[in-house]
Structure 1
Amino acid sequence: MRQVRAEGTRNALLLAAAQVFDRDGYEGTTLATISDRAAVSKGALSFHFGSKSALADAVQHLSCERSRTELLALDDPGAPALRVLGDMVGRLAHRLATDPLTRVGLRLARERGAACGPAPDCRLAWRATLRRTVLRAHAEKSLRPDAPAESVVDLALAIALHQETVRADRADGAWLTGVWELVLPALASPASGALAPTGL
């Protein structure tokens, strides 16, 4: 019972920290603000996380792992890879618009830079997942043969990350459908049938 309660306290602290870091940034966040938001004592916070840096590391790990798991869940080997790629870009953009935990992993990596040490940069996890899907599209011959895989990955990630810029006034992600419809004909092999609507 005590272990379950401790795990609940830790999760509450991580989610509260994600919300506060997302709102105030790393430098603007205090442990007192996080403990207040989580309705957890400062002593309990110190028990689970010895410093703000340790707490930020844990938030980054959780952010990257959850978002990576969500993207991997979309990777249906039976579905056309370019369609999966569109779904991944759409999901990532949606999560950046609506989910503080997804956004904060990106923000903390950017703000903390090399100082975060072993804490992951979510962009690297997202890039690796998108790259696998792009390589599958090449293998399926649904991607234009002259489309370099790394450039396609760069483009897909850039489109998804653009949500951070537009989220204030276009948080529903509706802009993405139009963008993807413009981009897809430039990526798809004409004979592949990949130009069917993606459902973004």
Structure 2
Amino acid sequence: MRQVRAEGTRNALLLAAAQIFDRDGYEGTTLATISDRAAVSKGALSFHFSSKSALADAVQYLSCERSRSELEALDDPGAPALRALGDMVDRLVHRLATDPLTRAGLRLARERGRAPGRSPDCRLVWRAALRRAVLRAHDDNSLRPGAEPESVADLALALALHQEAVGADRDQDAWLSGVWELVLPALVPPTVPDSRAPTGSCP
């Protein structure tokens, strides 16, 4: 029972930290604000996390792991590779629009930079997952000849990160569908059927 309570307290702290880091950034966040949001004592916070840096590391790690798992699940080897790529971009757009944890992980990576022992940068995790789908498309010849896989992976990541730049005030599904209509001719060989195209809508 004690272990269950401790795990619940830790999860509450991570959720509260994600919300505050997302809103105020790393420098603007205090441990007192996080403990108040989580309704957890400062002593309990210190028991689970020795410092703000340790708590930020945990938020970044959890953010990257959850999104990585979702992206890997979408990249089904039995599904058309470019469709999987489109679904992966769409999922990232959706997460950035709706999930404070995803936004917090991204903001913390940007504000804190890279350092030995620090949790991964979600942008690198996402690009690696997107790149695998692009390489699969390249290997099964569903990617247009001459389309450079590294550039396509960069483009897919840029489309996903566009959500953070414009905010949540736009119809992201309509925006992404429109962009895919412009991008697809540059990615798909003329002979590839529509079933290989990304869907452009949330699964």
Q: TM-score, normalised by structure 1?
A: 0.95
Alignment of 1:150-189 (within 5 A): 150-170=150-170, 172-189=172-189
Q: Separation in 2 of the partners of 1:36 and 1:171?
A: 34
Work out whether 1:131 is the aligned partner of 2:140. Answer: no
Q: Separation in 2 of the partners of 1:7 and 1:98?
A: 24
AA partner of residue 19 (structure 1): Q
Q: Separation in 2 of the partners of 1:36 and 1:158?
A: 36
- Quote the residue 2:90 is aligned against: 90
AA partner of residue 74 (structure 2): L
Q: Separation in 2 of the partners of 1:83 and 1:197?
A: 4
Deviation larger for 163-172 or 178-187:
163-172
Kept in 2: contact 1:109–1:116 (CA 8 A): no
Q: Tell me: CA distance 1:87–1:15, structure 2 relative to 1, closer, same or farther (3 Å).
A: same
Q: Separation in 2 of the partners of 1:36 and 1:61?
A: 23
Kept in 1: contact 2:87–2:198 (CA 8 A): no
Kept in 1: contact 2:85–2:198 (CA 8 A): no
Shift of 1:107: 0.4
- Quote the residue 1:103 is aligned against: 103
Kept in 1: contact 2:84–2:198 (CA 8 A): no
AA partner of residue 157 (structure 1): L
Q: Separation in 2 of the partners of 1:198 and 1:150?
A: 21
Shift of 1:14: 0.3
Q: Separation in 2 of the partners of 1:77 and 1:142?
A: 13
Moved over 4 A (4+): 194-197
RMSD: 1.5
Work out whether 1:39 is the aligned partner of 2:39. Answer: yes
Aligned length, in residue pairs: 200
Q: TM-score, normalised by structure 2?
A: 0.94
Identical amino acids, percent of aligned pairs: 81
- Quote the residue 2:12 is aligned against: 12
Q: Separation in 1 of the partners of 2:113 and 2:136?
A: 32
Deviations, residues 36-81 of structure 1 (Å, cap 9, x unaligned) = 1001000000000000000000000000000001111111111110
Which structure 1 segments of 5+ residues have no match?
none
